Structure 1
């Protein structure tokens, strides 16, 4: 069910979907206007309705139709060119955001719907003395649609200008990350998480191999749990959303056998999508920072903005924890599936930024500051250890790549302050907590 909903959501989010709906509605409106005028005529009290003749109607409708489609084609062509250029420094997410933005779709739909409406109305204009007909209602509506196109053009230019802004793109990705983290974590006040069985438990199980390939976009845990409970088996998934599934590779193990309905609960696609794939959302922000730190762009301010957004997301995790990925029903193990861990999340956030920004003292200092702020409010020892690990990795790269001795002294001072906080009892022990094993991602 979730897989079908994901496909429907992807389909309705396409750039053409809303303009197509608006165009169909415009054609129906044009037909209804012509039918209403042919059947009932124009009441005398409607003085605001267009009252010109056949020649003026043709000229007006032709002008509106040609202007609407001409302006739409020109403006959108120039905009796509500008977006393609801007996407070189922000990543492909910018173009995806443009095509899926409902405001942009509505503007395109307004122009195309106006063109379709006026063209349909134009074909009904008839001259001569035998059976003349002028669709006065439709011409009036066409004039209103022309004004709507002018307003849509002004809105579109302002909207796209804001959308190309780097801060707007970063904030958009931050909002996606917040929503995904909210779905992936639970409050600490919930019941203790069940433990998964040891590895030997699965050695005698039946293995399911993937018949197809692609990115795993959705894992319907409710359907998988129901299938395992129905057949009285335990099911372990070997892949998680965001993994690329290769053909004929193991994706699930069932003990003592595989339940029916495993493959329908999985959705494969040609690209990664936000939702269950937490690391995809993180990597999009990390990619913005990595591009900003490339020699061709050299924009450390944007990288610092991304680091701040990551700190915002990590601070929101205080008091929350990951789901265990272990599901019991009626005191029987039914499903085990892999989940993102805190360590894996930090790796996705900071590895690329640290590697590309190791020669930028401003980036290193801000990264240490954010790790310090996150550590101040974090009480979990395992998470504290992961934060300390990233601080040590950051410092090691800074010592190797920082050229200026004064800059290095400032970085060292910031790192010593962080170490003193940990050693004074606000930190943690020397080993990570076994509660949250770390899944390292490249």
Structure 2
């Protein structure tokens, strides 16, 4: 699994300010390169090229890029607002991490700073005639980059913040998280025995923060457990809500007769848990399914009244849950050195409850939604009967009970019962 420093680095690179800062530094460095390499340009070349036009080109870039950046930022904020109000606020994070948007804004800001530094250096005479030639060549390259970025940005604006495009992002994030957890069911650690009775020597490790577990560095915990000769039984997973004093896990010495508490480094163990104010998609498959379900429930609300979107989300949920049933690429049972760290696995019942229960509750009065939910459960029971059949029957019974209390026409109830009879029992 991903170590904590790699996870933090990955989070930083998804921030808009990171790419904007990187492109800005690149723009400034590019503008100053002409000063450094001006002596490599032949003295006769400036007269042939006529690089004096670079002043006007840089002025055009500086003024236009400032306007384009301002427009793009306002468009981006509008897209975030549309995703929050039209889909769900939980999906806004994925829209903000859009690479095309970040690259476009970073390119515009970097080009603006490139032209600004170039104008300042030209006014001081730092370039000379040879430096102007090199600056002219680089400026042409920047213009080509700006045109290419603008064309991509214009095409991307037609989709940014739209309901369907945002749902695509949530589905892709949920599928990625489920595939990752299906390959590493215990996040690189060992399985937590279901019938385990902790020994008397087990020490609870309490949380000192309140929030959601976003990441657990199992590799770091494995190193700590090996060095301290302890075994760790974790009680939480990414997505769990913890509060101050709540046990994150239990520490059990390998030598059960040992009474030496000095070998247990609680602060180092707590440092392997990243706790934040909100859930994250990367390592929390249940969160992705919950957000998909929330989108469908929002579409079924009287204020929106869009059962078509709910039906579309149900299909996406089937596609996502199918990833849990597919055989994955063989992987080791646990990371080397992490066999002393025990974690609980996800259950199929939890995944189905996160996705189907809210939609079944909010769509109980709509026949078309109930039919689509039943067909989804039937499909999943056929995809992997061994894994899904019992939980599909359970949720189908819940759906029929809700529909019986909400639907008014007996014909509609009979139609659902007839469809439910086709489910493998």
TM-score bracket, shorter-length normalisation: 0.7 to 0.9
Q: Give the gaps of 5 or more residues in structure 2.
A: 254-260
Contact 1:205 1:255 in 2 (8 A): yes
CA distance in 2 between partners of 1:47 and 1:328 (Å): 65
Q: Which residue of 2 aligns with 1:285?
A: 292
Unmatched tracts of structure 1, length 5 or more: 423-442
Instruction: Map 1:59-138 onto structure 2 (within 5 A).
Output: 59-126=56-123, 135-138=132-135
1:417 and 2:414 matched? no
Q: Is the 8 A contact 2:286 2:351 kept in 1?
A: yes
Task: Give 1:210-221 correspondences, 5 Å limit.
Answer: 210-221=207-218
Q: Indicate the residue corresponding to 1:13 in structure 2.
A: 14
Seen in structure 2, the aligned counterparts of structure 1 residues 225 and 121 have a Cα distance that, compared at 3 Å, is closer
**Following the alignment from structure 2 to structure 1, what is the Cα–Cα distance between the partners of residues 407 and 40?**
82
1:180 to 177, 181, 185: 177
Change in Cα spacing, 1:228 to 1:44, as seen in structure 2 (3 Å) is: same
Partner of 2:351: 345
Larger mean Cα displacement after TM superposition, 305-314 or 115-124: 305-314
Residue 280 of structure 2, aligned match among 258, 273, 276: 273
Aligned residue pairs total 405
Q: Which whole-Å CA distance do the structure 1 matches of 2:222 and 2:171 have between them? A: 32
Deviation per CA, 1:141-166, whole angstroms, max 9, x where unpaired? 33442343233223112113223343
Q: Relative CO higher for 1 or 2, CA cutoff 8 Å, sep ≥ 6?
A: 2
Per the alignment, do residues 318 and 139 of structure 1 end up closer, same or farther by CA in structure 2, a change over 3 Å counting?
A: same
Confirm or deny: 8 A CA contact 1:225 1:327 kept in the other structure. no
**2:242 is equivalent to residue 245 of structure 1:** yes
TM-score by length of 2: 0.84
Match of 1:151 in 2: 148
User: Which residue number in structure 1 is paired with residue 256 of structure 2?
Assistant: none
The worse-fitting range, judged by mean Cα deviation, of 367-376 and 58-67 is 58-67
> Offset of 1:40 from its aligned partner?
4.0
Match of 1:310 in 2: 317
CA, structure 1 residues 230+132, in 2 after alignment: closer, same or farther (shift >3 Å)?
A: closer
Structure 2 equivalent of residue 262 of structure 1: 269
Calculate the aligned-residue CA RMSD, in Å: 3.2
| 1:251 positional shift | 1.6
- Give the C-alpha shift of residue 173 in structure 1: 2.3
Aligned equivalent of 1:35: 36
